[in-house]
Structure 1
Amino acid sequence: MRKALFFVLLPFVWLATPAQAQKFGYVDTEFIFSKMPDYQKALAEIDKFTDKWSKDIQDKYVEIEKLQRTYQAEEILLTEDMKRDRQRIMSEKEREAREYNNKVFGYEGLLFQKKKELMKAPMELVNRAIEKVAVQRKLDFMFDKASDFVMLYTNPRHDYTDYVMEELGLDAAGKTTAGTTPGAKTTTKPTNTNK
């Protein structure tokens, strides 16, 4: 009964609350990052580390395979003690390879830490620019079109990507505008008409 009364009274309470228009907008951070030289440089660095660590792990497994092949070829000539020693060495090498793989690619491993370190500066630049644009344009909410938040429809007049890119000193072609540094104003005017 009490629950039913709550749902009956809820619409009246909602209607009695003064409606206040809230301004919102969105940006496409994926597009912004794709035009940022610092972000592209960070991605290239991450790829280098990933390739290096992958090669290190692959080399460890190649070494293990060689040991296994040698063991199989010589097994008939080995004493029981020698077999146990070889098997122990191969098991240790496999354990080391697994541990190194987990250390690099596991949860919060070296790759995760490296990504966090290299992406910190570009992410902070974009976040500051988004915040500045939101304050300047008096927005209550700013959504990211590139996030997991599904936007089924977006009206281009609420797109503030150009303003953020202007704040970062980027143009749509991806070059830093001549004579500016990220965070400096450019002379290009965004196409957004939502003032």
Structure 2
Amino acid sequence: MNKLLLWMAALSMGLVVNILAPQAAQAQKFGYVDSEFIMSKMPAYTQAQQELNTLSANWQKDIETQKKDLDKLYRNYQAEEVVLTEAMKKKRQDEILKKEQDIKTYQNRIFGFEGQLFKKRQELTKPVQDKVFEAIEKVAKKKQLAIVFDKSGDLTMLYTNPVHDYTEFVLEELGLASEDRNQPAQKGAVKTVATPQTPATDAAAEEEPVPGKQPAKTPARPSTRKK
């Protein structure tokens, strides 16, 4: 008898859980924001992107100047090779190789992984990103959201209902709200500043100079956009 009562009690508890579980799931609220759109509206982020573009362009010009100096060394070597002794040839070749290696080292120090451009980007944009994250967190708590997605992130959102868009609420929290509340972001009308990208390694710089062969010139690379 006791076993039967226990079994009936367990069955009743299971039915209660099955009934309440869908209701609990439905009670979970979620929403999404467009962080790229939000940051494009922040003057501090635009200023940071402009500063990064300027720094990247200046560093790239410096590298191109060094490459021109290397090319000049090589041309001079070619012009004087016939009158140089073997010892003098070796000295000039070593000078060219060292110059080439110095350029590659400098380029990696500036544009390489965790190079100066990477560190400067973190320095300038992290405070803005932290401010956006704090605003998103405040909106999530106010609106009782269990999950907040980022529309501009890696998550692919095939369909988004504007009723779940909290981008405008975050802009309001940051003091950047527009007259239309809770409207989906219109990326086409937003002008954003391009983020400088790390230039690709120069294929010509990978080859050691060979007497009698002129190294190929590499055209300057314009900065391209990133988020």
The alignment's TM-score, normalised by the length of structure 1, stands at 0.80
Counterpart position of 1:104: 110
| Aligned structure 1 segments of 4 or more residues deviating by more than 3 angstroms | none
1:58 CA displacement: 1.0
Kindly indicate whether residue 21 of structure 2 is the aligned counterpart of residue 18 of structure 1: yes
1:189 CA displacement: 6.6
* From 35, 48, 67, the counterpart of 2:54: 48
Counterpart position of 2:36: 30
AA paired with 2:131?
Answer: L
Which residues in structure 2 correspond to 1:38-187 (within 5 Å)?
Answer: 38-172=44-178
Name the CA distance, whole Å, in 2 between partners of 1:114 and 1:144.
24
Q: Name the SS of the counterpart of 2:153 in structure 1.
A: coil
Q: Which runs of 5+ in 1 are unaligned?
A: 1-11, 173-187
Name the CA distance, whole Å, in 1 between partners of 2:155 and 2:114.
24
Contact 2:59 2:110 in 1 (8 A): yes
Kindly indicate whether residue 182 of structure 2 is the aligned counterpart of residue 191 of structure 1: yes
AA paired with 1:123?
Answer: Q
Q: Name the SS of the counterpart of 2:149 in structure 1.
A: strand
Q: Name the SS of the counterpart of 1:18 in structure 2.
A: helix
Q: How many residues align?
A: 164
Percent identical: 48
1:171 CA displacement: 3.5
1:69 CA displacement: 0.6
Q: Name the SS of the counterpart of 1:126 in structure 2.
A: helix
1:116 CA displacement: 0.5
1:54 CA displacement: 0.7
The alignment's TM-score, normalised by the length of structure 2, stands at 0.69
* C-alpha RMSD of the superposition: 1.7
Name the CA distance, whole Å, in 2 between partners of 1:138 and 1:189.
22
AA paired with 2:43?
Answer: P
Larger radius of gyration: 2
Q: Name the SS of the counterpart of 2:21 in structure 1.
A: coil
Name the CA distance, whole Å, in 2 between partners of 1:32 and 1:72.
56
Q: Which runs of 5+ in 2 are unaligned?
A: 1-13, 184-227
1:39 CA displacement: 0.3
AA paired with 2:82?
Answer: I
1:190 CA displacement: 2.2
1:191 CA displacement: 3.5
